[in-house]
Structure 1
Amino acid sequence: MATLLHLDSAVFSEGSMSREVTAAFVTTWREQHPDGKVVYRDLAADPLPHLDATAVAAGATDTLRGELAAELAAADAVLIGAPMYNFSIPSTLKAWLDQVIIVGHNAGAEGPVAGTPVTVVASRGGSYAPGTPREDFEFVQNYLEKVLSGMLGLEVDFIVPELTLARSKPEMAELIPLADASRTQAFAEAAEKAKALAARLAA
């Protein structure tokens, strides 16, 4: 029985592209794993505290950090909704990362969670793809790839719905066709990646 750890961090519960795509991923995952388990954390609705000196000193013996680390270690796969806020990740997701990464316990290429596949839905209102004017402002994929793979040894994959503000910003109206195409592709990738991951874990 495979376990999926699902984290959402978008502030809005309705109208959030990252939440919609992670939900689609989970739906396909459940279809492939009807007897499987999904552990869900809504980091916006139930935010974790920022890391403090006491928790750092306690490490894995800290009740909360130990719980989060054990939750991650028990997961066969991880799904993270990570919308771009002010060019970076939501602070609630950063708090989870700070709490769950424990040097000397689960960090490192040979750590207990190394190799666990993680799918990140990195939605953004504009486009920060290579070749676009704001390419240098992209700190979501760059950061998460480095911290998840570099600190925890996770196997990181991305789904990137872009231009999510096109229908709400008049100045972006000409980009609506591209936004719709990106949305369609994101949902297709969610289904495809969930199926592929389910098959891989079942093998």
Structure 2
Amino acid sequence: MLEEEYQPRRRLPRALQPAPRPETPFSFEIRPAVPEDLPAIRDIYNHYVANSTVTFDEKAMTIRDWRAKYARLQQLEMPILVAESPSGQLLGYTMVFPWQAKAAYRYTVEDSIYLGPASTGKGLGKALLGALIEACREAGIREIIAVIADKNADASIRLHASYGFKEVGRMGRVGFKFDRWLGTVMMQKSLKKLKRPRG
């Protein structure tokens, strides 16, 4: 063996060590959903159906289900938005749908926000909800209702409160999923009309 094989490896001076690779910043674009987004929207939603109580759905939704929902929202001119990464990956989505079927409820909607599991805790939910509120205001919607499960949903309650949603009621033991009873927290935000420029 050569003598230098017994020598301890010398560390390069700090100035000569390779610089650590910078972390890629978390970035995204929020835009209206298009039909091509529906498979990714389905996958995000079905993850929560199978693994959480944030939705009371117990059965996975199909592409056919999502196409019907999307067509209905387009017909009603209600917003459905997605967040997309620079590489084209869908990171999350948000939408509203009619609060009730009766005509008198036509200016009131219920919101929905779902993020891909790798996109949580990075401010995406806040960005999506802010964009949704503005899209609702532009669409002439006056009231947004959030119906939030009362178990493991503190982050959603805080998120809505940060945009001025107020708690307006609670219902206990109205859902049963994963062998336990669940209640809901209801929050509401009133939107002011956009001021139209004169002239």
TM-score by length of 1: 0.30
> Which structure shows the higher strand fraction?
2
> Which structure shows the higher helix fraction?
1
Rg larger for:
2
Higher RCO (CA-CA < 8 Å; seq separation 6+): 1
TM-score by length of 2: 0.31
